[in-house]
């Protein structure tokens, strides 16, 4: 029996998503990945609504059971942090609405799960995600690679025989 995991790297301009099917710790595959983009000039509430609508499309197509989401980490720009936190709130509400199991990870935990190094650079994460999932090309954009990495991180806690 497999599990479908939806990984999310939240953002307001770009929310990365990655959907994987987990069979075992030695077998998982990418079903889809990409970025949900919202227009910069649009009102925040419309951008958040668009994020919600796009998440619904992903859910209807793949029916994930688990949502793996990156925790917020900001050390300078409070305005950006607050806006991204609102996008994260939309994702968390979406998860509750669909009764998804939510697993939340720090960027350090996600990087460690795919590269064994919590300070891995974006390119390292992309290369390891490509290797782990057997992709033909590096997953792009960075947000999508991070979302796939979050899904891989969540898979490490699953127990299958």
Q: Which residues are catalytic?
A: 9, 70, 143
Measured CA to CA in angstroms, residue 80 lies from 14, 25, 34, 87, 104 at distances of 13, 36, 22, 11, 20
Say whether 97 sits in a helix, a strand or coil: helix
Q: Which neighbouring-strand residues pair with 35?
A: 16
Query: What does the alpha-carbon distance between residue 73 and residue 76 come to, in Å, rounded to a whole number?
Result: 10
Q: In what order do the strands lie in the sheet with 27-37?
A: 27-37, 14-24, 3-9, 66-70, 101-105
Query: What does the alpha-carbon distance between residue 83 and residue 40 come to, in Å, rounded to a whole number?
Result: 12
CA-CA-CA-CA dihedral for 157, 23, 127, 75, to nearest 10: -30
Look up residue 25 and give its two tokens: 């710790």
């Amino acid at each position: 029996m497999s599990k479908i995991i939806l990984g999310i790297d939240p953002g307001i301009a770009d929310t990365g998503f990655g959907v994987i099917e987990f069979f075992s710790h030695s077998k998982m595959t990418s079903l889809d990945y990409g970025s949900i983009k919202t227009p910069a000039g649009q009102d925040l509430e419309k951008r958040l609504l668009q994020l919600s609508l796009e998440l619904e499309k992903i859910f209807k197509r793949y029916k994930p059971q688990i949502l793996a989401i990156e925790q917020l980490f900001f050390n300078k720009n409070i305005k950006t942090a607050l806006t991204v936190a609102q996008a994260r709130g939309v994702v968390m509400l979406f998860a509750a609405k669909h009764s998804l199991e939510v697993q939340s990870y720090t960027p350090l935990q996600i990087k460690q799960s795919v590269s064994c190094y919590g300070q891995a650079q974006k390119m390292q994460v992309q290369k390891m995600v490509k290797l782990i999932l057997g992709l033909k090309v590096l997953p792009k954009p960075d947000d999508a690679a991070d979302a796939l990495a979050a899904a891989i991180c969540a898979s490490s806690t699953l127990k299958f025989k």
